[in-house]
Amino acid sequence: MSVQPPVDATLARSFGLSAEEYAKVLDILGRPPSLTELGVFSVMWSEHCSYKSSRVFLKQLPTKAPWVIHGPGENAGVVEIGHGLAAVFKVESHNHPSFIEPYQGAATGVGGILRDVFTMGARPIANLNALRFGNPALPVTKRVVDGVVRGIGGYGNCVGVPTVGGEVNFHPAYNGNPLVNAMTVGIAAVDRIFLSAAAGVGNPVVYVGSKTGRDGIHGATMASAEFGKDAEEKRPTVQVGDPFTEKLLIEACLELMATDAIVAIQDMGAAGLTSSSVEMAGKGGVGIDLDLDSVPQRETGMSAYEMMLSESQERMLMVLRPDREDVARAIFEKWELDFAVIGRITDTGRIVVRHLGQVQADIPLAPLADQAPLYHRPTVDAPKPAVLNAARVEDRVGLASALETLLGCPDLCSRAWIWDQYDATVGGQTVKRPGAADAAIVKIEGQAMALALTIDCTPRYCAADAEAGGRQAVAEAWRNLTATGARPLAVTDNMNFGNPEKPEVMGQFAAAIRGMASACEALNFPVVSGNVSLYNETEGRAILPTPVIGGLGVIDDAAQAVGIALRPWLDLVVIGASRGWLGQSLWLREIGGREDGAPPPVDLPAERAAGDFVRAQIAAGAVRACHDVSDGGLLVAVAEMAMAGGTGVRLSTGPRDIPGHAYWFGEDQGRYVLAVAESAALIRAAEAAGIPAVRIGTSGGAGLTLPDGGTISVATLRAAHERFFPEWMGS
């Protein structure tokens, strides 16, 4: 930088620090900060790094269970899965960068979440993603979808971690603010989990991976503000991904982790060298001295400020045992990655940054963490919408036409165009690929067991009633795992909301957390990791509240996992109560042209009972196929099973007291469609357990025979289902 601006409250404001926050900085230091120090404070106290608006609410989430090894607070959550192994997983957003530069924004989102997982000693075995885009009619949406999908594929395919699941929705509320949430799952030995707390005065602090450049400076601050019309101008704050280096970094780190060299390790994610060094030393209760002259640099003439704030990708920071430095260096040389000792652990409790012979920053770590801003932001609860009376909603089109329309609409159509661009089989352990089951099934190499993985949220429910929607998101994830036969274990959450300084947005956040907490509690499904993304607004318009839930379960015998594909001559039984709930349903929006009513409530005890029953039936080997009932209701669920298996279904008449369209397209929660050889035994067992169970049809033939007399061939359904994406994207 040629001319340095004066470091004062005005500059602090432009760095995202409020007047009160800047006053606190002055108080902590007892003097005005240097430019580098101001940079450190501003990123550490950004919403993205400090969770200053959300922390008070996040505390309400249940985080404990006997199988939880590490809950929130580490790089990722860790749960025990048996046989001495642990699953390590987390979801993280890269929303803002993905709008500014879709390919790199999404790609580096995948890279970042991979590092959060392998930094704990886990080999990544699966990626998932949750995506939200704006109105498909807008050209910008097409461009963003294309870039995001290419970016996720470009990174994930190259590092060789299969992308096995995900979800996509469209809504105009995401026009200027798409969501890209990426989730990674890894496997580690229970007794070989690596943490980030630094220890050992005098121990070397080692930098490995890519060189540091000027990319992504102040990315964390950018991710903590709304977009105005100048969003495009923020492109230089987006980082550029290098999946090849990431692949080498994974292999080198895992090779080093097999030795006893590492004391602590953390990836350089948001706020790069600043957050990794501050958090490692802070958590360990030690101090850290950094010598920036030793940092591998991609460009010349970088200042201390730039190096501390750079978000160059594919970098890790480690504290090593001093006598193991050579072992570590040899491994990184083998993988042709930079390896540099850039500092030492001290007992000062301070971070001291030197560059070109000068101290550029000297900050006490305890107050930097302890006095980080914490806001109890005002909340306003939105009025709850009235329950829609389904009997007053006329059906003008009939079942067959509505089904064809729904199966072809952007929110329900086949995602094959997307997942065909993601390598789903690399690793050779993918038991159920995208679309084959309600959750992806990935086997643990060398074991009989497999993980079940899903990621879910229904934002239109959350927009209508954030508490009900938060509860539903957790329940749906739990249901999707259950539908494969897996035992749900834990959750990672990605809270995507608007500007927290607006009471109505904070009210949505608080309500969603209440709903999620109630479901996690009732389903014994704790939250072990997560991410908060606020300020998802463009020109003052917020996105729909989108609390994305990543769910992980385990199935002891991978061969027992059940998919959704129907075979001929099976009975179809719906488990759970159907009441014809049309409020906030896709039928109401796509066919009725309305987006109103209360969303379908989740009855948690009934949810638990139905799920436990279904899981037991699958474990007993009684179930040939299983699909939860979600978007589009019962008829869409049956159609999806028919299309997956290539067989038709003859459906029975529904109950007389519910209008046909409400029964077949209503989105009552807590339901599953099971395909079994003979329904009588299943229904008896369900009744004995007090769980509603109704036979709704028999598979076979070439089409769906509908209860109102209409028929529609599976080929026609597939054509309708598969049309949208290829036509839209022109391929």
Catalytic residues, by residue number, are 48, 94
Does residue 651 belong to the site contacting another protein (CB under 8 A)?
no
Q: Are 704 and 648 in contact (CB under 8 A)?
A: yes
Chain CA centroid to CA 406, Å:
26
Tally: H helices and E strands in the chain? 25, 28
Q: How far is CA 539 from the centre of its chain?
A: 25
Q: According to the binding rule CB under 8 A, does residue 443 interact with another protein?
A: yes
Q: Which is nearer to another protein, 422 or 665 (CB)?
A: 422
Q: To the nearest whole angstrom, how small is the minimum distance from the Cβ of residue 487 to another protein?
A: 19
- Is residue 433 part of the contact set for another protein (CB under 8 A)? yes
622 vs 614: CA distance, rounded Å:
10
Chosen residue from 2, 300, 358, 731 binding another protein by CB under 8 A = 731
Out of 37, 242, 404, 438, the only residue in the binding site for another protein (CB under 8 A) is: 242
Span near another protein by CB under 8 A; candidates 46-54, 64-72, 383-391, 428-436: 428-436
Number of amino acids touching another protein (CB under 8 A): 35
- Least distance in angstroms from the C-beta of 559 to another protein: 6
Should residue 66 be labelled a site residue for another protein when binding is judged by CB under 8 A?
no
CB 139 → another protein: shortest distance, Å? 19
Question: Is the CB of 431 or the CB of 573 nearer to another protein?
Answer: 431
Min separation Cβ 81 and another protein, Å: 18
Residue from 33, 39, 151, 153 touching another protein (CB under 8 A): that is: 153
Q: Which of 419, 496, 400, 360 minimizes the C-alpha distance to 163?
A: 419
The DSSP string of 615-658 is HHHHHTT--SEEEE--TTHHHHHHHHHHHHHT--EEEPP--TTS
Which CB, 419 or 587, lies closer to another protein? 419
Q: Are the CB atoms for 448 and 555 separated by under 8 Å?
A: no
Task: Give the orientation angle of helix 604-619 with respect to helix 503-523, to 10 degrees.
Answer: 40
- Which residues partner with 264 through β-bridges? 319
Query: What are the structure tokens assigned to 42, written together?
Result: 């501003």
Contact code string over 526-565 relative to another protein, x by CB under 8 A? --------------------------------xx------
Contacts of 593 (CB under 8 A, 6+ apart): none
Longest dimension (CA), the chain: 85
C-beta of 335: minimal distance to another protein in Å? Answer: 7
Window of 82-90, 402-410, 425-433, 654-662 that interacts with another protein by CB under 8 A:
425-433
72 binds another protein (CB under 8 A): no
Nearer to another protein, 98 or 245 (CB): 245
Selected from 427, 485, 645, 703, the binder of another protein by CB under 8 A is 427
| Minimum CB–partner distance for residue 704 and another protein (Å) | 24
Span of 153-161, 367-375, 639-647, 657-665 interacting with another protein by CB under 8 A: 153-161
Strands 338-346 vs 204-209: parallel, antiparallel or unpaired? antiparallel
- Per CB under 8 A, contacts with another protein among 378-417 are 416
227 beta partners: 538
Q: Give CA–CA dist 537/652, Å, rounded.
A: 47
Nearer to another protein, 274 or 312 (CB): 312
Question: Which of 359, 343, 358 shows the shortest CA–CA distance to 273?
Answer: 343
Closest contact distance (angstroms) between CB of 420 and another protein is 5
Question: By CB under 8 A, which span of 236-244, 255-263, 572-580, 676-684 interacts with another protein?
Answer: 236-244
Of the ranges 241-249, 322-330, 387-395, 469-477, which one interacts with another protein (CB under 8 A)?
A: 241-249
Radius of gyration of the chain (CA): 26
Per the structure block, which two tokens stand in for 385? 């919408």
> With CB under 8 A as the contact rule, which of the stretches 151-159, 168-176, 665-673, 702-710 interacts with another protein?
151-159
Phi/psi of residue 458, nearest 5 degrees: -120, 90
For 394, other C-beta atoms within 10 Å of its C-beta total 9
Strand 77-82 vs strand 68-70: parallel, antiparallel, or unpaired? antiparallel
| 314 in contact with another protein (CB under 8 A) | no
Compare residues 326 and 420 and give the one whose CB is closer to another protein.
420
160 binds another protein (CB under 8 A): yes
**Amino acid at residue number 26:** L
Closest to 588 in 3D by CA, of 401, 394, 722: 394
Distance (Å, whole) CA 653 – CA 517: 38
The torsion angles phi and psi of 625, rounded to 5 degrees, stand at: -155, 150
Closest approach of another protein to the CB of residue 164, in Å? 11
**How far apart are alpha carbons 257 and 123 in whole angstroms?**
11
Q: Which of 13, 55, 142, 150 contacts another protein by CB under 8 A?
A: 150
**Secondary structure of residue 548 in the 3-state scheme:** strand
> Which residues, 6+ apart, have CB-to-CB distance to 427 below 8 Å?
125, 160, 161, 162, 442, 445
Which position among 14, 425, 652, 653 is part of the footprint of another protein (CB under 8 A)?
425
Residue 146: partners with Cβ closer than 8 Å, 6 or more residues away: 102, 729
Q: For residue 658, what are its two tokens?
A: 């519910």
Among 428, 605, 690, 709, binds another protein (CB under 8 A): 428
Q: Is 569 in the site for another protein (CB under 8 A)?
A: no
Please identify which residue in 195, 273, 307, 424 interacts with another protein, judged by CB under 8 A: 424
The b/e string for 225-256 (b: 16+ C-beta within 10 A; e otherwise) is: bbbeeebeebeebbbebbbebbbbbbbbbbeb
Q: For another protein, give the closer residue by CB, 12 or 436.
A: 436
Closest distance of CB 146 from another protein, Å: 9
**Contacting another protein (CB under 8 A), which of 243, 530, 600, 648?**
243
From the list 99-107, 239-247, 297-305, 485-493, the region that binds another protein by CB under 8 A is: 239-247
Rounded (5°) CA angle 581-583-584:
125
Cβ proximity to another protein, 220 vs 442, nearer residue = 442
Q: According to CB under 8 A, which residues from 332 to 371 bind another protein? A: 335-336
Would you count residue 429 as binding another protein (CB under 8 A)?
yes
155 near another protein, judged by CB under 8 A: no
Quick check: 186 binds another protein (CB under 8 A)? no
Q: Which residues bind another protein (CB under 8 A)?
A: 150, 153-154, 157-160, 242-245, 247-248, 335-336, 416, 419-431, 433, 443, 445, 558-559, 731
